[in-house]
Chains A and B, each alone.
Chain A
């Protein structure tokens, strides 16, 4: 019997730290570059075109005592291989929609309570490592760093019975396409961008400047903007309800933001240093850091959220503990990891300069986010 797994089924396995055997039938290159990560996942990578004459040779490598999932880029090849394994008497499943669906899947998880009965949700895009947020209070919602699957956010807001009033991006993203502008135009919400990142955008927006405060609902919840350049020149963090620090791509749980994706690493090193070593130092240690990305699964908490006390990060995050400025400079400018796939085109999309089809957008976003330096 062939079992069809959805990306949501796989996400549960990741978040609940379950075992899974993944037979990935994509090319070796594609597998090497990007795969479904799980703490207790085992992998076998054999391209489907090496199995056209049969799967007998790999049967001994496929376990019978755990769930086996066949994965490919879009699903066609995984169905073929899964059927062959099924005919050979094995119980296996395939991933509906393949890695494409995995890249798009988003899991909303509650991060915590806000004043006056408000709530804060983190939207975890496991396949790409993107994190978006929705703060809710008294019938109103603010969304931060929304990814391009806008339905996820509008549907969630409907289920919660709240109206989306504010849509914010911490910076002009280079690794994924923002859904912010579209959510704002669909709902009539205001779309905020840091003006220094928005010099080339071709649409109207509300400038997001240092010290700006957005009131959510009739309650005491404040979304306060904190100018924190370094990943981009406009990068801005938000403090919500004096409890949460949304750091965008400046500070992650186990790494820090890279300064080169808009092409100016050398120029922005000093800003990055100033933000991480001076501006953030002045904030309360008890703030919970909520970044816009994670890179590795170890950054996930047991409940699947990505969140940690700022004080803990000052102790544990290597990027916050490089005393020597020259060592820091070299760390964030030399030997940087490869840039995210199609990052220049993605920036153009986020500026509104080009409007690719959904299919093209999916292709642009293939692969890991690579926004950090460690």
Chain B
């Protein structure tokens, strides 16, 4: 998987992880992949819903030591 950009949103509370992610993904080209690292558990559901609303694809996600990694492919 080719990661174009990584966004560190660790420690941020809702709504900031999504706000930052949206701003960052706006700078990518279609098909490119953004890695986002978040620690806010509330973000889990929001990322899925936000991505599907915007047509983006979460190609992978994992959790390591309390940090959730999302890999989002821009629509």
Contact = CB atoms under 8 A, between A and B. Distances in A.
A80 B53 contact: no
A96 to B, nearest CB: 15
Nearest to A98: B14
Given A27-B45, A73-B42, A74-B42, A47 B53 contact: yes
Contacts of A52: 18-19, 22
Contacts of B5: none
Contact of B41 (A27, A48, A50, A363): A363
B3 interface: no
Contacts, number: 40
A363 B13 CA distance: 16
A50 B53 contact: yes
B15 interface: yes
Interface residues of A, number: 16
A72 B45 contact: no
A85 B19 CA distance: 17
Nearest to B48: A27
Interface in B1-25: 13-16, 18-19, 22
Nearest to B16: A76
A76 B13 contact: yes
Contact of B22 (A49, A73, A77): A49
A28 B42 contact: no
A49 B18 contact: yes
Contacts of A28: 49
Given A76-B13, A76-B16, A49 B46 contact: yes
A373 to B, nearest CB: 28
B9 to A, nearest CB: 13
B20 to A, nearest CB: 11
B45 A49 contact: no
Interface string B17-43: 011001000000000000000000110
A29 interface: yes
A73 B46 CA distance: 11
Contacts of B13: 74, 76
A74 B43 CA distance: 12
B14 A74 contact: yes
Contacts of B42: 73-74
Contacts of B46: 27, 47, 49
A73 to B, nearest CB: 5
A74 B42 CA distance: 9
B75 to A, nearest CB: 14
Given A52-B22, A73-B42, A74-B42, A80 B49 contact: no
A74 B15 CA distance: 10
Contacts of B14: 72-74, 76-77
A143 B67 CA distance: 41
Contacts of A48: 15, 18
A28 B45 CA distance: 10
Residue with the highest number of chain A CB atoms closer than 10 Å, among B14, B18, B19, B49: B14
A49 B16 contact: no
- Find the residue from B13, B18, B42, B50 having the highest chain A CB count within 10 A: B42
A247 B18 CA distance: 46
Nearest to A100: B42
Contacts of A363: 41
B34 to A, nearest CB: 15
A20 interface: no
Interface string A1-45: 000000000000000000000000001111000000000000000
28 contacts: A27-B45, A27-B46, A27-B49, A29-B45, A29-B49, A47-B46, A47-B49, A47-B50, A47-B53, A48-B15, A48-B18, A49-B15, A49-B46, A50-B53, A52-B18, A52-B19, A73-B14, A73-B42, A74-B13, A74-B14, A76-B13, A76-B14, A76-B15, A76-B16, A77-B15, A80-B15, A80-B19, A363-B41
Given A47-B46, A74-B13, A76-B14, 7 more contacts: A27-B45, A28-B49, A29-B45, A47-B49, A49-B15, A50-B53, A76-B15
